[in-house]
Amino acid sequence: MPGENLSREEARERAAILSVERYDVALDVRSAVGPAAGSGPRTFRSTTVIDFRCSRPGASTFADLIAPSVASVRLNGRDLDPATVFDGTRIALDGLAERNTLVVDARCAYSRTGEGMHRFEDPEDGEVYLYTQYEPADSRRVFANFEQPDLKAPFSFRVTAPEGWTVLSNGAADGDPVPAEGGGATTVFAPTQPISTYITAVVAGPYHVEHDHYARTHPDGAVLDIPLSALCRRSLARHFDADAIFDVTRRGLDFFHESFDYPYPFGKYDQAFVPEYNLGAMENPGLVTFREEYVFRGKVTRPSYEGRANVILHEMAHMWFGDLVTMRWWDDLWLKESFADFMGAFALVEATEFTEGWITFANRRKAWAYRADQLPSTHPVVADIPDLEAAKLNFDGITYSKGASVLKQLVAYVGRDAFLEAARRYFKRHAYGNTTLADLLSVLAETSGRDMAAWSAAWLETAGVNSLTPQVVCDAEGRITELSVAQTADGARPRLRPHRIAVGLYRRTPEGALERYARAEADVAGPSTAVTELTGQPRPDLVLVNDDDLTYAKTRFDEVSLATLRERLGELTDPLARALAWSAVWNMTRDALMPARDYLELVLRFAGQESDIGVLQSLHLQARSALEHYVAPDARQEAGASLAEGALRELRQAEPGSGHQLAWARFFSAVAATAADLQLLQGLLDGSAKIDGLDVDQELRWTFLEALVSEGAAGADAVAAERGRDDTASGHRHEVRCLAARPDPEVKAAAWAALVDSDTLSNALVEATLAGFVQPGQRELGAPYVAPYFAAIERVWAERSIEIAMDVVRGLYPSFQEGALVLAETDKWLSERAEAAPALRRLVLEGRDDLARALRAQQCDAPSR
């Protein structure tokens, strides 16, 4: 639609003349229940009053609104013709006064894509649930506004909903709901502090709600008493462990209050776990929303609870980094996401039972960053974001995990005390305002005395990842005479950076363990840096050049160290060092420096010894990726059989009932392909086979069934029977995924049509259908869709919401097809479609890069046997 993709320049021009004093938003969502009126989209009434100032009276601007219809627009008492001033995305406002009041009465559409006001009907009990999700710019789907982060204002919401519903917003309810004319009840909420449009929120429906509170005395004597609530759908209530959620919440509030010395600024703290959510969570002040998959329906491993705690703490960190102080424009998205990612892990380790959080960070979050930083679409942490479509795509591994990794390096560079003191000054100085990079650097320079401009130029304003390799020289007596660290950069991004690192020396003990016997910290800069503190140490079996994971860089090995890891990786006793070694060999595999089957051999030999289950699950994901993408094609079947054999061996040897056993069971089902493997899975489903201690609960049943269905060992009847056992929203998603996974050309054609030619699927069912359609073991069934993919993606981008379009374009890229052919088709499309939307071209370029990387890795793997 014209005007939907707001540009940075338009936002700057509008912010230069406008300041917003308040919003008063009234929503009537009683239409969410009962039959829809008419043949168009189901809609709700939205009435908005905006009081704002204009520094240049007589100027023109626009308000943002995406709605099927507008009943009336009134500016400063003048009625404007909606047909003239509203084009579907913007309301033209001319002849502004110094002080202005805009009143817009519209019919806005409920969403099925997770954008705006999402409506979900629970198949288990027929109840309807609503929630909003806006980032970066979807509040305009719910009410008229100035949709940019630097036009903050207080918001007052008034929501009329069906009788008996729970209705929440950012502010606390101002009294009990009042009966509304025509039925239902109206809840009025107290005005918020000044906040940005994208973090306003409404949740409404017959939610199951549990309550608690947080009470502490702040050092300045102020008593903090924060009401807490946690809610989910009623049909999930039997699985809801709200006490565990409240425990993490209280610990997080303690940690952030102590660290930031700024009391939580938004009154209450509600946490809503909502259905069909596109994200992990969203930091709406006073009303955080989470995907309901964090309400665990079956047995999960410890990393699932760790991951949920990390997300809770990530969103809580946003109450300060992002909500209290907000970036001026999406260029500085890192000012909230990088800090929340880092502070979430920081709080996880220091305030909860999950003290292994930095291991998970090193092994999983940084893997995301390393991948993103090697794509053609990589960008500096401080990015160049010209418009909203670009902003949407920059919620990526650079903005989150590279930024967080850089902040971890910053703490090592300036010291923890200086870092936290800078945060405290930043909050006090800019509370309820908007900032840029310069504002943060100034307080960091104050507290650390360091040259933050040089640090920022190296780490925040340039893209790319460096590699660090040890170079060791020993004398005849086996003593180190020289140890240096070589630093290299990718050819396209040659910048070398300053790194504060720890270098660890490891050797085997008489008991057969690999343990560190020496460590030195060093500042690495330039192509080679000597680490003189380690001169004279005995010859190491292994040198780890980023020990303790202080910096952001790929780790390489000298020949002796790599040989040691090939034979002894599992003997590393320190779990973080072991995780770093695993991360390094995985990066070598992705970079075509280690044959993929060598990596799989390491997994088969040593993954069974891995004590950290989060690392183990990462190894399982990476082993699958190596098998599906990086193993030479003619060796894939044999390598897969070896993986399945090893997985079954470890499954049978794992401690009964343990998380390790569950992890191996899931991995085995993912790689099972032989008739014997599938027979075992079928036996575990029907009870004719048993593995001691393995509880095949409903979620695990669906996992096993999908493996059977995708291999043609079970069909639609089995899926229908399983849905009969699990007539829930989750069961429906699993059913859709399994049905689309069947190895049948007609099934694939129907799934393709549902994804590409229709917009009737909800966001959750798009995700499920994509997951079922794309099966690595069904490459021949995907071959007919290479040309149709490139013929369809511009239409998909133009016709669908950006969230769904991104999912379809990414999910259907034909990465499992014959590589040279797909590369040629991709290059042809990129050449012929130079005028296609930049965000769309970015997604296609990323798919191409992943495929080209896979082909290089396959070439590396091919001659290794």
Total number of residues shown for the chain: 865
Determine the Cα–Cα distance for residues 141 and 143; give it in Å rounded to an integer.
Answer: 6
10 Å Cβ neighbour count for 590?
26
- Specify the pairing of strand 18-28 against strand 155-161: parallel
Cis peptide bond prior to 285, omega within 30° of 0: no
Phi then psi for residue 650, to 5 deg, are -70, -35
Kindly give, in sequence order, each residue whose CB lies less than 8 Å from that of residue 38, ignoring residues fewer than 6 positions away.
none
**Cα–Cα distance measured from residue 649 to residue 330, given in angstroms and rounded to the nearest whole number:** 49
| Tokens 């013929």 sit on residue | 791
Residue 799 known to be catalytic: no
Find the helix packing angle between 403-414 and 452-459, rounded to 10°.
Answer: 150
Q: How far apart are CA 379 and CA 210, in angstroms?
A: 43
The angle, 0 to 180 degrees and rounded to 10, between the axes of the packed helices 675-686 and 636-653 is 40
Instruction: With residue 520 as reference, give the H or E element that holds it.
Output: strand 514-524
Query: Which residue has tokens 């009623």?
Result: 234
Closest of 665, 648, 733 to residue 704, by C-alpha: 665
Pairing outcome for strands 202-205 and 499-508: unpaired
Q: Identify the residue whose tokens are 């399994």.
A: 738
Residue 623, token pair as written in the block: 């082993």
Among candidate residues 708, 784, 789, the one with its CA nearest the CA of residue 741: 708
CB burial of residue 129 (10 Å; 0-12, 13-18, 19+): buried
**Cβ(170)–Cβ(203) below 8 Å:** no
* Contact (Cβ atoms closer than 8 angstroms) between residue 700 and residue 659: no
> How many CA atoms lie within 13 Å of 11's alpha carbon, on the beta-carbon side?
22
Long-range contacts of 456-461 (CB under 8 A, 24+ apart): 456/382, 458/495, 458/497, 458/498, 459/381, 459/406, 459/409, 459/410, 459/497, 459/552, 460/334, 460/380, 460/381, 460/382, 460/406, 461/380, 461/381, 461/382
Give how far Cα 518 sits from Cα of 57, 389, 483, Å: 70, 49, 13
- DSSP 3-state of 572: strand
d(CA 735, CA 769): 10
Burial letters 453-487, b for 16+ CB under 10 A, else e: eebbebbbebbbbbbbbbebebeeeeebeebbbbb
Per-residue tokens: 245: 């959620």
Among 4, 135, 276, 315, the one annotated catalytic: 315
- Report whether 388 contacts 137 (CB < 8 A): yes
Residue type, 45: R
Which residues lie closer than 8 Å to 842 by C-beta, 6 or more apart? 377, 393
Q: How many Å apart are CA 809 and CA 787, to the nearest integer?
A: 13
- Cβ atoms 542, 565 nearer than 8 A: yes
Asked if residue 450 lies in contact with residue 442, where contact means CB atoms within 8 angstroms, the answer is: no
Number of Cβ within a 10 Å radius of residue 417: 11
For residue 188, the cross-strand partners are 158
Q: Vertex 142, ends 138 and 147: CA angle to 5°?
A: 45
- Cα angle 379, 133, 703 (rounded to 5 degrees) comes to 85
Which residues are catalytic, by number?
315
